[in-house]
Structure 1
């Protein structure tokens, strides 16, 4: 049956079956995918997972304590691995090995759940919203990293406790991203450099952990985290724990890229099987990375673990080593911003192309060249829209520079729908799992538990944002 379906897809695509058999084209009519294998795919997933969220893990473990903090990291890792494997089976439909391809996350939701309110409509809202906030967070974090370089090399800042405005760094990075977002094939170039990005992340890990060890332990740590007392009330402790759940959820939020990554796999083997192995390798590596950052950071700083590890060790010598760590993070996040922006860019530009298919402003492509080698096509709509998007993200980051609270909000609004709800519901629909069976109940239990955690994290992040708004004015926050 699967072989018959495959032959039907080849026939409908209008391809010569011999060319498909010879490997010149895949069954969907596109040139044969020859790029990614198991190792490069797992490396790409690791690059997609690890980002700004890793910087708050020491603070999260401090709020939750050794028992709950470590357990939460492991539970989120296992849930993410399980739902990512469910999503891998949704790349092709109806058969997970030879069915029709879904090129994006939204395509997979549409194919498996249809255009109903609970399916396509919700996905079309959740994914761009989460991607937009995620990109805003990267704007915020990149400026922090560059600013800490200046802090580290300016000893007077340590002595005088001087403060600097966020805005110049934000504007400078915004201008850089405007330029980079206009370069064709740039996301593919960053994808090709995923191994370099992983090396950067590991270098940051070793520098960060080494700095934590240099600071030395001896700080008070407990099994239950920050203790209720003079400095913190029971209510504040609860809000912080909820916020920590959101921060950890954000650290594991990357599912919206998995379908696109799977679409680059070679077709020689069933993509879902290769993707599942890549998920295991990526989550194992990432969880180890997160455990080291969270546990080493808590052991070094104790109950006073910083909300952002970059700002936490930014005032400790050797300054040149701190500079390197921050520069590594900037390099990684500049590329990650461009990679994660593509779903938003693609969605808006595809809609505009369908809506104004006869407009020269939207559809016109104008060949340009820089020198003799670098040639590309310019488009006025692409130039205008992408510039406006980066300006809005940068402005939002300037107005709301609240790192931990925004991380928790991002994790709360993004993790449950994109990482848990849609993969579970698609898998149920695809496998036609009957209601009230043991498997249906188990899947829905995961859904409900993750929803409740997301709800708690949302409340914690909103409470934290309200405090931040009371303490700082928009566009005037200092560090």
Structure 2
């Protein structure tokens, strides 16, 4: 099919079109660059909370929950890959959906697109907030590890998170000047390498501690508590943390649009999704199991921050440094999407504005030439500052992860992909396939609501000291 047969991009509302038209770009993406993008998005801050999550629900329910969420995510990814090219029988047009929002608008209509946009914008923003919190936690852990090593385990090694959030924010203000998503390939590859590195370090440290103490800690039912109600809230938060860890739906179509063909982009993307999700699920299981086995009821919310007294201390420092480097790239993989949304909207709304068109070149020493755009500089700087401000207001790692995961997982990974699948495959209502998918959708919704209530309780308790 010729490129001209695709529906033109400008028919889509700017706020529902998250990527620039790349039909004429020389696409170079392969299955391995796609795997790198997905791993960068998935193995992020969420992996650090999984040992704590398993600790809340125990040795059976914990690993089983990870496997179930991994399977659901893979099926959802297949549904989303199928919608990259959509033939509309009403007008006979074939649309290449280059973004998740565009796909919702094209397949399910404007109202669903608008509803999805609200969740989508929240998803991108909360990811930036979580990454800022996580990076600050890891930088603080490095300082504490060094402090304990130099001054002893009884030293008062306490550091403020806001200072490290500020440092990470400044780094992101600079990194955010990267023009668009298609220029982040090198950043994703570095970030993917970092994610593998700190995952292996976390697994290795956990196993080393298990061997040193000569026992596997933990229990079938998870952490015991004298307050049954509090146990329920902790289980709910654990489910939210696990859901957050499998948050990849929003970037799949953009990654797929960067792939070269032949083979077809759909075939390559399904292969990449399978490799990436299988790999990350195994990593999640290893990190969660080794952390829980090492710490038991004392499993920390952030796995690598639990090795503050561990020697060699430099290994803990290196693992946390890898987390920070990974999050620098992960932040950009997500936020470049929302940058494209706003800048595209501004350019189409104010086509004569020099604020969006003016570009100045900068050259610093032997570094490559750097181009600055007024709109890009002002908007992206403001955005980073806002994510940093929210992170400083709610610097609670596990609770924020659980809240974000419970808000976004069901609509973006379950509901919208299933609804698009029904339309794409013309699934007949009340057929066996329709009933099975509806039951799964409703079941996931109930679990999500349970997790949301628990995460809100955790945030209220941490912020205001009041338990529901």
TM-score normalised according to structure 2 size: 0.90
Query: Who is 2:288 aligned against?
Result: 294
Query: Who is 1:128 aligned against?
Result: 121
Question: How big is the shift at 1:349?
Answer: 1.4
Question: How big is the shift at 1:10?
Answer: 4.8
Aligned residues: 445
* Counterpart-to-counterpart distance in 2, 1:441 and 1:50: 33
Describe the superposition over 1:27-49 as per-residue Cα deviations: whole angstroms up to 9, x where unpaired. 9851342x122233223212221
Residues 238 and 402 in structure 2, CA contact (< 8 A), matched pair in contact too: yes
- Superposition pairs of residues 314-463 of structure 1, within 5 angstroms: 314-361=308-355, 363-371=356-364, 374-463=368-457
1:163 to 2:182 alignment:
no
Residues 153 and 319 in structure 1, CA contact (< 8 A), matched pair in contact too: yes
* Counterpart-to-counterpart distance in 1, 2:51 and 2:451: 17
SS of 1:374's equivalent in the other structure is coil
Task: Choose from 305, 309, 332 the match for 1:311.
Answer: 305
1:143 to 2:136 alignment:
yes
- Superposition pairs of residues 5-154 of structure 1, within 5 angstroms: 6-7=1-2, 9-10=4-5, 29-33=23-27, 35-94=28-87, 99-116=94-111, 119-154=112-147
* Counterpart-to-counterpart distance in 2, 1:390 and 1:11: 35
* Counterpart-to-counterpart distance in 2, 1:238 and 1:11: 51
* Counterpart-to-counterpart distance in 1, 2:461 and 2:253: 38
SS of 1:357's equivalent in the other structure is coil
* Counterpart-to-counterpart distance in 1, 2:7 and 2:342: 28
Residues 7 and 94 in structure 2, CA contact (< 8 A), matched pair in contact too: no
* Counterpart-to-counterpart distance in 1, 2:120 and 2:403: 14
Aligned CA distance change for structure 1 residues 390 and 283 (closer, same or farther; 3 Å) = same
* Counterpart-to-counterpart distance in 2, 1:50 and 1:8: 35
Q: Which moved more, 1:369-378 or 1:271-280?
A: 369-378
SS of 2:369's equivalent in the other structure is strand
Aligned CA distance change for structure 1 residues 301 and 12 (closer, same or farther; 3 Å) = closer
Question: How big is the shift at 1:387?
Answer: 0.9
Describe the superposition over 1:307-366 as per-residue Cα deviations: whole angstroms up to 9, x where unpaired. 1112211332211111110111111111111111111111111222222222222x2322
Residues 182 and 382 in structure 1, CA contact (< 8 A), matched pair in contact too: yes
Residues 144 and 157 in structure 2, CA contact (< 8 A), matched pair in contact too: no
Residues 367 and 375 in structure 1, CA contact (< 8 A), matched pair in contact too: no
Task: Choose from 219, 223, 227 the match for 1:222.
Answer: 219
SS of 1:334's equivalent in the other structure is helix
Residues 195 and 326 in structure 2, CA contact (< 8 A), matched pair in contact too: yes
Question: How big is the shift at 1:172?
Answer: 1.6
SS of 2:410's equivalent in the other structure is helix
SS of 1:311's equivalent in the other structure is helix
Question: How big is the shift at 1:264?
Answer: 0.9
Describe the superposition over 1:150-184 as per-residue Cα deviations: whole angstroms up to 9, x where unpaired. 11111237322332211211112211211221243
Question: How big is the shift at 1:114?
Answer: 1.1
Query: Who is 1:279 aligned against?
Result: 273
Aligned CA distance change for structure 1 residues 219 and 468 (closer, same or farther; 3 Å) = farther
* Counterpart-to-counterpart distance in 2, 1:319 and 1:273: 45
Aligned CA distance change for structure 1 residues 347 and 157 (closer, same or farther; 3 Å) = farther
* Counterpart-to-counterpart distance in 2, 1:53 and 1:395: 21
* Counterpart-to-counterpart distance in 2, 1:413 and 1:443: 20
Question: How big is the shift at 1:263?
Answer: 0.4
Unaligned runs of 5+ in 2: 9-20
* Counterpart-to-counterpart distance in 1, 2:402 and 2:264: 36
Residues 184 and 376 in structure 1, CA contact (< 8 A), matched pair in contact too: no
Unaligned runs of 5+ in 1: 1-5, 14-26, 473-479
SS of 1:163's equivalent in the other structure is coil
Query: Who is 1:207 aligned against?
Result: 201
* Counterpart-to-counterpart distance in 1, 2:155 and 2:147: 10
Root-mean-square deviation (CA, aligned residues, Å) is: 2.3
Residues 365 and 377 in structure 1, CA contact (< 8 A), matched pair in contact too: no
Residues 33 and 185 in structure 2, CA contact (< 8 A), matched pair in contact too: no
Task: Choose from 243, 250, 263 the match for 1:269.
Answer: 263
Aligned CA distance change for structure 1 residues 275 and 410 (closer, same or farther; 3 Å) = same
Question: How big is the shift at 1:147?
Answer: 1.3
SS of 1:94's equivalent in the other structure is strand
Question: How big is the shift at 1:195?
Answer: 3.7
* Counterpart-to-counterpart distance in 2, 1:464 and 1:301: 22
Residues 6 and 94 in structure 2, CA contact (< 8 A), matched pair in contact too: no
Aligned CA distance change for structure 1 residues 323 and 238 (closer, same or farther; 3 Å) = same
